[in-house]
Copies of this chain bind each other. A is one copy, B any other.
Amino acid sequence: MANIKDVARQAGVSISTVSAVINGTARVSPKRTKLVWDAIRQLGYSPDGVARSLRLGRTKSIGLVVGDIANPFFTSLIKVVEKQASEAGYFVLIANSDDEVDKELHLLKLFKEQRVAGIILAPVGDDRSYTEELARLVDVPLVLVDRQLPDAPFDTIVVDNNLAAQMVTNYLIKLNHRRIAIIIGKHHLWTTNERLEGYRTALTRAGIAYDDNLVCFAESQTDAAYHEVQRLLSMPEPSTAIFAANNLMLLGAVQAVTEMGFKCPEEISIAGIDDLPWSSSIRPKLTTVAQPIETMGTRSVELLIGRMEDAKNGEAPRPQASVILTPKFLIRDSCTALEKPASS
């Protein structure tokens, strides 16, 4: 493949002139400019981004690590991030952590070797030592998204998951439900803890006892939720409402309820967190708390690129940003009010 040297020879100019023409970094006479462009066209020259990156000491790629590439929540996020990043001239390396710490850390190492200019991460871990490991490992701008980390020295942009869970729970309580089951995701995730916490808080405030039997762990997956809800509804005194704590589990819950012959919302109310892109096609229309994914995506890229540019220009680091977005409660058709308190 033709390189800059070939172009220079073909055009009868020096290498530096070619570089100047391509990048517009210096003034070149019209005559030579034309010669250079002609040579480039003739040779089908395409500048070598790898060599450029080496010389410049920085790349044009940013890494994005999410728990599950195919989860509609992340899918939407990825789309926004990719759009935003590509408009700013960056490439996005996307990778799956499967919500496993080891995999994630391995990916970050690989990203480091690739010298990505920045990283957007939905972190899997949740404790201090993990945070320290992260700080040790990553030496480029890093933005945490969707999940928080205690005392982490990184820009973070999340939704108030505690509030989201309270919204759902309070709503169900207001509809006179007292036995409200929750289907909750992977243990170690920040979102899981926050949502469980919000659920508890809402119950406590309403004077409803927290009942372990109504808390089902479903690993954030559809089929696990499906089975958990089947189990739940087979109990002697099942719940009157189900709170599914993410999109996939919500789907599993709806499916289990429907297939067991329960009418939703008449016989059982279902609500959840995460709206789905195709939510309007699902019957009953699901009452959910929607996350402002678009904002999360754009803000995180903004934050990241801001820091990357600063680093490039050697500017003083800005103070750490921690954005907490407010989710939006969408009341639709999957819940009904109970006549009167079912118990107590």
Q: What mask results when residues 267 to 285 of chain A are scored 1 for a CB within 8 Å of chain B, else 0? A: 0000000001110111100
Say if the beta carbon of A54 comes within 8 Å of chain B.
yes
Say if the beta carbon of A192 comes within 8 Å of chain B.
no
Say if the beta carbon of A128 comes within 8 Å of chain B.
no
Please tell me which one of the listed residues B69, B110, B281 contacts residue A75 in the complex, with CB atoms under 8 A apart.
Answer: B69
Say if the beta carbon of A10 comes within 8 Å of chain B.
no
Say if the beta carbon of A14 comes within 8 Å of chain B.
no
Say if the beta carbon of A149 comes within 8 Å of chain B.
no
Please tell me if the beta carbons of B109 and A46 are within 8 angstroms of each other in the complex: yes
Please tell me which one of the listed residues B82, B113, B276 contacts residue A46 in the complex, with CB atoms under 8 A apart.
Answer: B113
Please tell me if the beta carbons of B59 and A69 are within 8 angstroms of each other in the complex: no
Query: How many A residues, CB 8 Å from partner?
Result: 52
Name A106's closest neighbour in chain B (CB-CB).
B86
Say if the beta carbon of A328 comes within 8 Å of chain B.
no
Residues of B within 8 A of A72 (CB): 72, 75
CA of A175 to CA of B1 in the docked complex: distance in angstroms? Answer: 59
Distance of A270 from chain B, by nearest CB (Å): 11
Say if the beta carbon of A298 comes within 8 Å of chain B.
no
Check A92/B94 contact, CB under 8 A, given A76-B70, A115-B48. yes
Residues of B within 8 A of A304 (CB): none
Please tell me which one of the listed residues B60, B75, B139 contacts residue A70 in the complex, with CB atoms under 8 A apart.
Answer: B75
Say if the beta carbon of A78 comes within 8 Å of chain B.
yes
Name A254's closest neighbour in chain B (CB-CB).
B281
Residues of B within 8 A of A248 (CB): 278
Number of copies: 2
Say if the beta carbon of A204 comes within 8 Å of chain B.
no
Say if the beta carbon of A32 comes within 8 Å of chain B.
no
Say if the beta carbon of A112 comes within 8 Å of chain B.
yes
Say if the beta carbon of A96 comes within 8 Å of chain B.
yes
Please tell me if the beta carbons of B281 and A112 are within 8 angstroms of each other in the complex: no
Check A278/B61 contact, CB under 8 A, given A48-B113, A86-B95. no
Residues of B within 8 A of A48 (CB): 54, 113, 115
Please tell me if the beta carbons of A91 and B69 are within 8 angstroms of each other in the complex: no
Say if the beta carbon of A341 comes within 8 Å of chain B.
no
Say if the beta carbon of A83 comes within 8 Å of chain B.
yes
Please tell me which one of the listed residues B51, B60, B82 contacts residue A96 in the complex, with CB atoms under 8 A apart.
Answer: B82
Please tell me which one of the listed residues B1, B96, B276 contacts residue A83 in the complex, with CB atoms under 8 A apart.
Answer: B96
Name A247's closest neighbour in chain B (CB-CB).
B278
Name A81's closest neighbour in chain B (CB-CB).
B69
Say if the beta carbon of A230 comes within 8 Å of chain B.
no
CA of A133 to CA of B331 in the docked complex: distance in angstroms? Answer: 51
Q: What mask results when residues 81 to 111 of chain A are scored 1 for a CB within 8 Å of chain B, else 0? A: 0110010000111111000000000000110
Please tell me if the beta carbons of A91 and B70 are within 8 angstroms of each other in the complex: no
Please tell me if the beta carbons of B86 and A79 are within 8 angstroms of each other in the complex: no
Residues of B within 8 A of A322 (CB): none
Interface residues of A in 10-46 (CB under 8 A from B): 44, 46
Residues of B within 8 A of A254 (CB): 281
Check A79/B96 contact, CB under 8 A, given A49-B114, A281-B254. yes
